[in-house]
Structure formats: C-alpha cells, structure tokens
Structure 1
Amino acid sequence: MKELTLETMFAVFEEIFGGGLFWTMVAVAAIVTILYLYVLIRDRSMSMRKFLLAQLSMPFGALAAVLFVQQVTDSHLRDIGGPIDVVVLLGVAALGAAGTAILVYTAQSLVRRTPRTP
C-alpha cells in the first residue's frame, strides 16, 4: 500500500467490520448527522442544558465504542502491542464519545423542543 486513498480506507474498514455492518454504520452516521444539522437549523441555537447532558454521556460512548470494536474484531486489551495500537484505541474512544454526544443532543432536541423566547 503506497498511497492512502479513500477507496483504500473503505476496503480496510469493510474487511475489518464486514460489508453489511460497515455500510450500516455509515448510513446511521449520515442519518444522525442530517438530523443534527436539522435540529441546529430549526432551533437556531444550542441549548446548554441539552449540551451538558450530551457531554455527560460521552464517557459511556467512548467505552461502548472500544468494547464494540474489540467484540467485532475479536481482540482484547491484552492484544495491544505498541504505541500505534494505543493511538488507534484512543481514536476509537474519541470518535465514540463525540458520536454519542451528537446522538444524545439530537435525540433530546427531537423529543422535547426548547420553547423559543421572543
């Protein structure tokens, strides 16, 4: 692998997760992103109360992402072999935390809308 291209990354992720699971995750991420943008445009501001609750969910999302990846790839924490493994694991945790925060904020905004003040 001489060049790192988008097609190469898709092939690697399809190999890791399987085609069906990978594209399902991509579709869910796209839907949540579209709903998040819809909520931001609709409300025209962010609710700090909802944002705080979303931030409080971040550690659970980080842990869930790490456990999910370990389950899907049949790996364990004892399999960490070097610094790059730690970096990848921290990246997975960071993406899981951010994704969970966006998901929680979006779900809260869709379930209970903040009343607008004049």
Structure 2
Amino acid sequence: MEELTLETMIAVFEEVFGPGLFWTMVAVAAIITVGYLYVLIRDHNLGMRRFLIAQLFMPVGAVLAIWFVMFMTDSQLADIGGPVDIIVFLGIAVLGAVGMSILVYTVESLFFRDKLGD
C-alpha cells in the first residue's frame, strides 16, 4: 500500500467488517446524519437539555465503538503494540463518542421533542 486513497480505505474496511456490514454501517450513518441535519434545520438551534443528555451518552459510545472494533478484528487490549495503535484506539473512541452523541440528540429531538421542554 503505497498511497492512502479513498478506494484503499474502503477496501480495508470491507476486509475488516465484510462488505455487507460495512455498507450497512455507511447507510445507517448517512440516515442518522440526514436526521441530525433535519433536526438542526427544523429547530434553528440546539436544545441544551437534549445536548446535555446526548453528551452523557458519549462514554457509552466510546466504549461500544472500541468493543465493536475489537470484536470484529478478534483483538484484545494486550494486542496494542505501539503509539500508532494507541492513536487509532483513541480515534475509534472519539468517533464512537461523537457518533453516539449525534444519535442520541437526533432520537431525542425526533421522538421526545415535547417531553424534554427545551
């Protein structure tokens, strides 16, 4: 692998997760993103109570993302070998935390809008 291109990254992710699961995850992420953008456009602002609740779920998202990747790659914490592995590990955790926050905020805004009183 001489160059890091989008096609290379797609091939790597398809190899790790399998084509069906990878493209399902891409589709789910796209649907959640569209829902989040819809909520932001509809409400014209962030509801602070919903935002706080979404942030409280961030550690859960980080742990679930790490667990999911370790499960799919059949890895353990003892397999972490160097600084690059730790950077990737932290990147997965950050992406999982942000993704969970966006998911929770979107679900709260779409389905529990009246109950939170923002």
TM-score range, shorter chain: over 0.9
Q: Distance in 2 between matches of 1:114 and 1:89?
A: 38
Q: Which amino acid aligns with 2:90?
A: L
Q: Taking every aligned residue pair, what percent have the same amino acid on both sides?
A: 66
Matched residues in 2 for 1:9 and 1:112: separation?
37
Matches of residues 37-76 of structure 1 in structure 2 within 5 Å?
37-76=37-76
* TM-score with structure 1 setting the length: 0.94
For 2:24 and 2:50, how far apart are their aligned partners in 1? 27
In the other structure, the counterpart of 2:14 is 14
Q: Summarize deviations over 1:28-48 as a string: whole Å, max 9, x none.
A: 000000000000001111100
Unaligned stretches of 5+ residues in structure 2 = none
> Where does structure 1 differ by over 4 angstroms across 4 or more consecutive aligned residues?
none
Deviations 1:35-72 (A, max 9, x none): 00000001111100000000000000000000010011
8 Å contact from structure 1 (residues 47, 114) kept in 2: no
CA RMSD in angstroms, aligned pairs only = 1.1
Q: Find out whether 1:92 has 2:92 as its counterpart.
A: yes
TM-score (norm 2): 0.94
